[in-house]
Amino acid sequence: MKTFMMIVSYDGTNYYGWQRQTHLVSIQGTLEKALEKMLREEIRIDGAGRTDAGVHSLGQVATFTTQREVTEDQIKIAVNNLLPEDIVLKSVFQVAPSCHARYHAIGKRYGYKLYRSSFADPFKSRYATRIVHQLDEVAIRKAMEQFIGTHDFATFMATGSKIENTVRTITQFDLFIENDEWYFQITGNGFLYNMVRIIMGTLLDVGRGKISAQAIESIIKSKDRDRAKRTAPSCGLYLEKVYYPEEICRKQG
Amino acid sequence: MKTFMMIVSYDGTNYYGWQRQTHLVSIQGTLEKALEKMLREEIRIDGAGRTDAGVHSLGQVATFTTQREVTEDQIKIAVNNLLPEDIVLKSVFQVAPSCHARYHAIGKRYGYKLYRSSFADPFKSRYATRIVHQLDEVAIRKAMEQFIGTHDFATFMATGSKIENTVRTITQFDLFIENDEWYFQITGNGFLYNMVRIIMGTLLDVGRGKISAQAIESIIKSKDRDRAKRTAPSCGLYLEKVYYPEEICRKQG
């Protein structure tokens, strides 16, 4: 029995999110089908987290266990040949049987891409959120600073989520601007459901002057979802990287 | 009565090509529907040329005539709001009633994008042709030179085309390389059906050593379609620009 970890990149546009669903095409379901076709046994993969419909990945992580005597390269080559062009295994490596993509994840990094344009750009619209109005960069950067640190992020969780501990730590939050493209990058020890998209929706309101940058602290403290109403579209969101403790999920051999 | 010229950009992946077809979604059909919805009259647009299914455009041109008293900006804003995100009117301007996008086109520029990678890149696969093998850049550049000038391009026309005069003039053919992306740019006074994709397929054979660069001249002269067998995939092809004579198709007013 061998346990493998896979780094998976995908364009999420044509999928109903990561999680397997009975009658809908999902990333997890598509990966499991490809692995089952190759390995000729039932395969259940565990993802580091669920990405919503339309969300992209540069570094989603999933683990699975197989009875077959296969190598990392055999899986990578065979499965990539079976996968559609919008999902790719960037790497595959054997890990200790105890390593689990979800349980052992200790942090994640997300990216969020915007572009400013009066009209849609057909080559960007799947991969970035279009903004028509000018955004106040100074106010946005000031607001971003206030998210860094350990906070109760209950304000920034999709309603209906049933998680008890809503305290998370954001260790990094940067903004890179190149021409009309804005790329946000945020790292934390974990994110609540829709947290990045609600933070981004709030920052867009700050950028348009609907919320003042100074108000962010009190919005976080309020733990009131009504204070952060906007959820930014999924097409701008990228799961960039998932972090694991070296001692458990290290590459074997 | 007013005649307008439109510059149209699109991601062709989800369309059955430019040309209107009864039961299939086409770029022309989608544009006509949006224009008809706005103008409330039957609209027939003339495109500079037909692009195949999957081919992209940065600068396709189309003309149409309307009975309505509308301005350029009104059309641009209203139609862009009605169009899906993968088609956009980059500009709209009034031209002389005699100007016709197809009859008056005096030249076209195309681009063709490749990327070299062992595995698919989910964010490039719609917009470029993936090449697994190394390509011989020197041989490709030598082959490209031989296409420049006025030649009978019958070798490079899709079988079944019924065009009598197959002589065309290529005025420019360049290759720009950035990391693992190769971008070819070709300009001519006109292109036969599938001509750019057959030229590209032939260059890929040159790049892999299947055809020698020196052989291109004789392949052109042979006028034998069997000497240029490969047609490169549509997803790498971009119609960049269409040229018109200033005196007929100039912007009015």
pLDDT tens column, B200-231: 999 999 999 999 999 999 999 999 888 888 99
Interface of A with B in 18-37 (CB under 8 A): none
User: Which of A219, A217, A215 lies closest to A228, judged by CA?
Assistant: A219
Q: How confident is the model at residue A253 (pLDDT cuts 50, 70, 90)?
A: low
User: pLDDT digit string (tens) for A47-96?
Assistant: 999 999 999 999 999 999 999 999 999 999 999 999 999 999 999 999 99
- From residue A54, alpha-carbon distances to A27, A31, A196, B142, B181 in Å are 11, 17, 14, 44, 26
**B107-240 matches B2-104 in CATH topology:** yes
Judged by CB atoms closer than 8 Å, whether chains meet at B56 and A123 is answered as: yes
Mutation pick from B77, B86, B123 vs chain A, by most beta carbons of A within 10 Å, is B123
pLDDT computed for residue B162 by the predictor: 80
pLDDT computed for residue B253 by the predictor: 65
The answer to whether the beta carbons of residues A78 and A215 sit under 8 Å apart is no
DSSP string, B53-115: TT-EEEEEEEEEEESS---HHHHHHHHHHHS-TTEEEEEEEEE-TT--TTTT--EEEEEEEEE
Judged by CB atoms closer than 8 Å, whether chains meet at A120 and B89 is answered as: no
Q: Which residues of B touch A56 (CB under 8 A)?
A: 122-123
Q: Which residues of A touch B85 (CB under 8 A)?
A: 120, 122, 125-126
pLDDT computed for residue B227 by the predictor: 87
User: What's the CATH fold of domain B2-104?
Assistant: Alpha-Beta Plaits (3.30.70)
User: pLDDT digit string (tens) for B71-82?
Assistant: 999 999 999 999
Instruction: Looking at the complex, report in whole angstroms how far the Cα of residue B217 sits from the nearest Cα belonging to chain A.
Output: 36
pLDDT computed for residue A38 by the predictor: 97
Where does chain B show beta strands of DSSP type E?
2-10, 46-47, 56-66, 87-95, 107-116, 129-131, 149-152, 167-178, 181-188, 237-243
The answer to whether the beta carbons of residues B121 and A88 sit under 8 Å apart is yes
What is B107-240's CATH number, 3.30.200.20, 3.30.1300.10, 3.40.50.720, 3.30.70.660?
Answer: 3.30.70.660
Q: How confident is the model at residue A164 (pLDDT cuts 50, 70, 90)?
A: confident
User: pLDDT digit string (tens) for A166-188?
Assistant: 999 999 999 999 999 999 999 99
Respond yes or no: is residue B174 known to be catalytic: no
Does A92 contact chain B (CB < 8 Å)? Answer: no
Residue A242, C-beta contacts closer than 8 angstroms, at least 6 positions apart: A48, A49, A59, A60, A61, A101, A105, A107, A108, A109
Q: Using 70 as the pLDDT threshold, list the residues of chain B that sit under it.
A: 253
Domain boundaries, chain B: 2-104, 107-240
Looking at residue B189, the DSSP 8-state letter turns out to be S
Judged by CB atoms closer than 8 Å, whether chains meet at B9 and A121 is answered as: yes
User: What's the CATH fold of domain A109-240?
Assistant: Alpha-Beta Plaits (3.30.70)
Instruction: Looking at the complex, report in whole angstroms how far the Cα of residue B100 sits from the nearest Cα belonging to chain A.
Output: 25
